[in-house]
Amino acid sequence: MKLFGRSPAGRYREAARTYKDIQDRFHAAGRAGTGLESVRDDVWDLQLKLFDDVVKGHTSVAGPLFSAARLSFFIEFGTGKDWVRATMSALCLSTACCVIDLLSSLRDAPMPAPLLREMRGMALGSAYVAHRCGVPLAGVMNAEAITSLALGERMLTRETTAVLTADDGTATLRRQLSGMRDTAASELRAARGMVGRPAAPGANLREAMKQRFLEDLATYDTPEGAARLATSPNAVSAARAALLSGRTLVYIAPALRSGAALRVNSPGGEGEICESVELPGLDLPSVRALVERVRDGYAAAQRGELGRKALNRLIREALDQVTAAFWDPLLAEWPELRDTPLALIPLGEAALLPFSTALVDDTPACATLDLTLAPSARALLLSAGWQPAADRKVLVAADPWYDGDGFRSIPRTVPEARAVAAVHGVEPRLFRAPDTAEELTSTEAPDPLRTISGTLPDDEPAPDIAAHLTGASLIHLACHGELRSDAPLSSSLLLGGRLPLTGLLRDNLHPGTTVILSACELGSITGDLPDEQLGFPAALLAVGARSVIGALWPVPDTPATVTLMTDLHHALTDSPAPKALGQAIANAHANGVPPSVWASFACFGA
């Protein structure tokens, strides 16, 4: 099967035509219920030829390569016949993603939306098959290639800027970019060299991936300072994140029938660079069912159909389920992680689970372990590169209500802002605050949530709060939040008006800023997104934040929430954000505060 087109357009047409023929045969076989062996072999051969073409510089076939690799991956993943083939197909797809993303950036265009939709499930699926293949490092490479596409250009700009500000920065950047260009080529050569060799499943591929990883890592200098923020290919960003943050990385990948945890250790240690363990209880249907059960519980509580005690029982059951599915098998396999600084990188819908507050030894994990979360290793690498400002400038802002249709007042945001501001000796910025104490204590429900159920006006932008955000190094925002599944970058904070996520992305924050979002679900992602954890934490880390604290679920507007946030800021005066959150949640748990108040919070970043 040859691709005869000489011009870029000719190569593309021939590749697309060949793939279309295979795709039609695949659908016909599905309708007829016949075997897929011929289709399986043909799409496998096609993707290898297209991969070879891309490596030779013929980037016009990156689109057909994406499609062929994706089809091959799902055939291999669905049958489970050949985990090596599945892993190699995932490597082909991740390379196609990187090439398409680069070509889109050169045209000043985003990653094509249809491809983003088709990518759903790829990061966690490719990580899981790499685990089953015995090559978890390949899973890390694929996950890192896929999870930074929408924000990749902004993150790359920050990395490049950091490198150029260092001594010999231009030379360093030139070496890094040269290494990145060689990555796809060496990956293909390593993968293709494994085809047909007699060996244990995955053994040759595992050694090839490890060798290539070590060679990539060796090309980078690691002096102190900004030059350590190298623009790193795939798994090298994970290794550098581990080095710079001092944390062991754990990727969490649920799959259809089971799940896996992939562990990245700091290079130079005594153990393997990358290891993995099966998580039988973390299958994707169980993850989705748990998320839906919690969401339905909060919705029922808002309607008055579920009481406080019943809601808190439901949340405690959810925490226990995460403990049984994740923490118990993880710590049984690797008990040394109890004393190891950790960064969890949940892939896909795993990002909606409360790993930080699930109980370890009957105590929330963030209080027992040195723990943070990250949308990707690159996000952790960026955040760890910025140190907190020595001269802390604090911004505290609150908005207790919003005049859209169907909104409830959340009056406790006002005393929360005042209490938090008092910790730091500053005045809060209050938007549309009630004038009297009577208004403040009057609510429509016993436990109103800082979430919305109505319609937002589209033409009411927020006042000048965005300008103040860029000058602060510690930011606390207590308000309504809106998380949009149809347009994630249009998700908003409601501070005197709509402040969309796109508004926050216009300017960088002060490097090393800590951001606390005391609003519903703004530490979360939506189920309609592809694999990238596109939301407030990922975006804020991309524009300069060191740490972002936010909630995965609705936050109750209660005095207990005010106390939790005040305790958090007291702890922040002498502790980094992950430890400060752990201390505040530990106090709440020890004092019998119901989990509906603290279970949804997590810290992202360094």
Burial class (CB in 10 A: 0-12, 13-18, 19+), 112: middle
| 90/87 Cα distance (integer angstroms) | 5
Quick check: is 233 in a domain?
no
Residue 1 has pLDDT above 50, yes or no: no
| 73/510 Cα distance (integer angstroms) | 42
- Higher pLDDT among residues 22 and 544, named by residue: 22
User: Tell me: the pLDDT tens digits for 35-76?
Assistant: 788 889 999 999 988 988 887 778 888 889 999 999 998 888
Residue 111 has pLDDT above 50, yes or no: yes
**Contact in structure between 110 and 150 (CB atoms under 8 Å):** yes
460 in the same domain as 339: no
Predicted pLDDT at 83: 84
277 in the same domain as 179: no
Quick check: is 429 in a domain?
yes
Predicted pLDDT at 373: 95
Across 175-184, 540-549, 562-571, least confident range: 175-184
- Give me the mean pLDDT over the 375-385 stretch: 84
On average, the pLDDT of the chain sits at: 78
Cβ atoms within 10 Å, residue 446: 11
- The token duo for 425 is 């000796």
Predicted pLDDT at 195: 43
| 119/116 Cα distance (integer angstroms) | 5
Predicted pLDDT at 144: 81
Residue 113 has pLDDT above 90, yes or no: no
Contacts of 413 (CB under 8 A, 6+ apart): 398, 399, 400, 450, 478, 479, 518, 557
The confidence band for 24, taking pLDDT boundaries of 50, 70 and 90, is very high
- Higher pLDDT among residues 537 and 368, named by residue: 368
Contacts 24+ apart (CB under 8 A), 390-394: 391/473, 392/424, 392/473, 392/474, 393/471, 393/472, 393/473, 393/474, 393/510, 394/421, 394/424, 394/426, 394/472, 394/473, 394/474, 394/475, 394/476
- The token duo for 510 is 């002060």
385 in the same domain as 353: no
519 in the same domain as 436: yes
**Closest to 96 in 3D by CA, of 145, 168, 138:** 145
Predicted pLDDT at 208: 59
Predicted pLDDT at 215: 57
The structure tokens 């690691």 sit at 222
Across 24-38, 101-115, 244-258, 389-403, least confident range: 101-115
385 in the same domain as 360: no
Across 67-81, 136-150, 272-286, 516-530, least confident range: 516-530
288 in the same domain as 143: no
Residue 491 has pLDDT above 70, yes or no: yes
Residue 408 has pLDDT above 70, yes or no: no
Quick check: is 3 in a domain?
no
428 in the same domain as 561: yes
Quick check: is 223 in a domain?
no
Predicted pLDDT at 226: 34
Quick check: is 370 in a domain?
no
- Higher pLDDT among residues 534 and 415, named by residue: 415
Residue 480 belongs to domain with CATH number: 3.40.50
Predicted pLDDT at 537: 85
| 88/354 Cα distance (integer angstroms) | 32
204 in the same domain as 301: no
The confidence band for 136, taking pLDDT boundaries of 50, 70 and 90, is confident
The count of structural domains within the chain is: 3
| 47/38 Cα distance (integer angstroms) | 14
User: Tell me: the pLDDT tens digits for 289-299?
Assistant: 999 999 899 88
Predicted pLDDT at 209: 57
Contacts of 395 (CB under 8 A, 6+ apart): 429, 468, 469, 471, 472, 474, 475, 476
- Give me the mean pLDDT over the 370-386 stretch: 87
User: Tell me: the pLDDT tens digits for 204-251?
Assistant: 556 655 665 555 555 544 443 333 333 344 567 788 788 888 899 999
Residue 345 belongs to domain with CATH number: 3.30.420
Quick check: is 238 in a domain?
no
| 101/145 Cα distance (integer angstroms) | 10
Count of alpha carbons within 13 Å of 440, Cβ hemisphere only? Answer: 12
Residue 26 has pLDDT above 80, yes or no: yes
Q: Give, for 604, the enclosing helix (H) or strand (E).
A: strand 601-605
Predicted pLDDT at 11: 84
Quick check: is 185 in a domain?
yes
134 in the same domain as 92: yes
The confidence band for 129, taking pLDDT boundaries of 50, 70 and 90, is confident
Quick check: is 239 in a domain?
no
Predicted pLDDT at 19: 92
| 434/70 Cα distance (integer angstroms) | 55
Cβ atoms within 10 Å, residue 283: 17
Predicted pLDDT at 331: 97
436 in the same domain as 356: no
Residue 585 has pLDDT above 60, yes or no: yes
**Contact in structure between 202 and 229 (CB atoms under 8 Å):** no
Predicted pLDDT at 461: 59
576 in the same domain as 435: yes
Residue 300 has pLDDT above 80, yes or no: yes
276 in the same domain as 129: no
Q: Give, for 346, the enclosing helix (H) or strand (E).
A: strand 342-346
Residue 329 has pLDDT above 60, yes or no: yes
End-of-domain residue from the set 314, 329, 364 = 364
End-of-domain residue from the set 209, 232, 254 = 209
Q: With H, G, I as helix, E, B as strand and everything else as coil, classify residue 606.
A: coil
- Give me the mean pLDDT over the 69-91 stretch: 85
Highest-scoring range by mean pLDDT, 87-101, 254-268, 478-492, 578-592: 578-592
End-of-domain residue from the set 333, 364, 395 = 364
User: Tell me: the pLDDT tens digits for 430-470?
Assistant: 887 765 443 444 344 446 777 665 555 555 555 667 677 88
Q: Which domain holds residue 134?
A: 8-209
Predicted pLDDT at 145: 74
Predicted pLDDT at 194: 42
Highest-scoring range by mean pLDDT, 202-211, 252-261, 368-377, 583-592: 583-592
